[in-house]
Amino acid sequence: MKIGLRILLGYFLIVGLAAWFLLNVFVQQVKPGVRSTQEDTLVDTAQMLAILVADDVKAGTVDQSSVLQGIRTALKRRVDLKIDGYDKGLLSNRVYVTDTRGIVLFDSRGTDVGKDYSRWNDVYKTLRGTYGARSTAERPGDDSSTVMHVAAPVRDGDKIIGVLTIAKPNANVQPFVERSQRVILERGALLLVLSLLIGGAFAWWLSQALRSLMLYIADVEQGKKAALPALGNNEIGTLGRALESMRDRLEGKEYVEELMHTMAHELKSPIAAIQGAAELLQEDMPEQERKHFLANILHQNARQKQLIDKLLALIKVEKQQHLLATEKVDLRALVAQLRDDCEIRLASRGMRFDVQVDDISVPGDPLLLRQALCNLLDNAIDFSPTGSVIGLRAERREGRAVIKLTDAGSGIPAFALERLFERFYSLPRPDGARSTGLGLPFVREVAALHGGSINVENGAEKGVVATLELPIL
């Protein structure tokens, strides 16, 4: 499982559990919270009414109490109010008063006067000087029919002479409870979705950053040219830059060791030839031989210079992981410059350069591309017979520029096909000379810098076909 998906699932699990826990707590606390608020209101009302009816209870004139009669009248009156979208037609409160024995003296509903309520907690506890309240279902087994009863003592000084209870059905506040729970769930679900979207975006960003870094590491492992992607000034960016620094140091050390070894090997032959010729020149010899050995020294010195120049050019492109700057390169203009560069060599060999280039432009470094094509053309000239034709075709194919250079030589031996791009590996020219073996490695590096590729193979009938593919604009 990819790390981005793991992070997303972990985030989802944490947020989901936290959201479920909080929503569950909030939803479960709505009903008790609303009922506690209702109870507090009933306590205040009961305490005030108990004070107002104390004189009537003391005098035994509860039936004539103007306060209680007013309550009975008010409870029968329609109010036609709308509270937060809910209609309220009648007052739902009930008020009753009991004496010190728990016998009902007054009932706003007029149904239970004379009944014994001493067993109910609201009356029982209040008569004993504690807070009395209860919630009782009017229909046994039906929780939706519960009614909250809150009592207050009716006092004569410090003496309790009765109990006033005010009751209110819990069903009256249930719509508000349900609406609050619904709003909490809706807002909680929205918050959860937003949290998941944020988590998904973060996981996607992290996954993309890690994927870019992993692709970079994979390219490095395969020895490809790879530039560190833009990862930002964060922990992943710091890790990427540290990896790139380590790579540069390790590759640099390995590269220098390999380079010194191969260069020492390649320079050994011309140095030995120069030393041998110089030692012979110290002796007396005919002028003709002296000129021959002097020419050999100059030839070997030129060979060393060519080797060093080409090696420096190869080192430069091998160490580059990407082009420092690119511009629009017109292939027709580039090939025209290539023709001018090799015109003298072609004429000296009596060769014809047959060119067909479509109107194509590629992004890149014109100097490096020119040097790469020049290396390919040099090889074609060296291995082709005098008076032959060298062809160059450039066409657009599947979104890429395909440049084919063909010669009329004898082709590449089978044993050499897999070693053509090895540094310092070269085949003898028809005239017996050898090149530095750095031309094709240079072409390969230039192609890689431009996001392209180079392939060299034998033609269908004769000669060699070198195919350079480059991305186009």
User: Is 83 a domain residue?
Assistant: yes
User: Is 151 a domain residue?
Assistant: yes
pLDDT by residue (tens digit) across 144-203?
788 999 999 999 999 999 999 999 988 877 776 677 777 777 777 787 777 777 777 777
C-alpha dihedral over 203, 205, 207, 212, to 10 degrees? -170
Cα 169 from Cα 144, distance rounded (Å): 9
Q: How many CB atoms lie within 10 A of CB 48?
A: 12
User: Is 294 a domain residue?
Assistant: no
User: Is 70 a domain residue?
Assistant: yes
pLDDT by residue (tens digit) across 210-239?
777 777 677 666 666 566 666 666 666 676
The answer to whether 53 touches 62, Cβ cutoff 8 Å, is yes
User: Is 222 a domain residue?
Assistant: no
Q: Which of 332, 324, 309 is nearest to 442 (CA)?
A: 309
Cα 258 from Cα 236, distance rounded (Å): 32
**CATH code assigned at 92:** 3.30.450.20
- Which residue, of 133, 159, 178, is where some domain finishes? 178
Containing domain of residue 132, as a range?
Answer: 3-178
Q: Which of 232-246, 361-375, 436-450 has the highest mean pLDDT?
A: 361-375
- Which residue, of 141, 159, 178, is where some domain finishes? 178
Cα 155 from Cα 51, distance rounded (Å): 8
Residues in the chain: 473
- Which residue, of 178, 196, 223, is where some domain finishes? 178
Output the pTM of the full model.
Answer: 0.45
User: Is 109 a domain residue?
Assistant: yes
Largest Cα–Cα distance of the chain, in whole Å?
A: 160
Cα 34 from Cα 438, distance rounded (Å): 87
The answer to whether 22 touches 124, Cβ cutoff 8 Å, is no
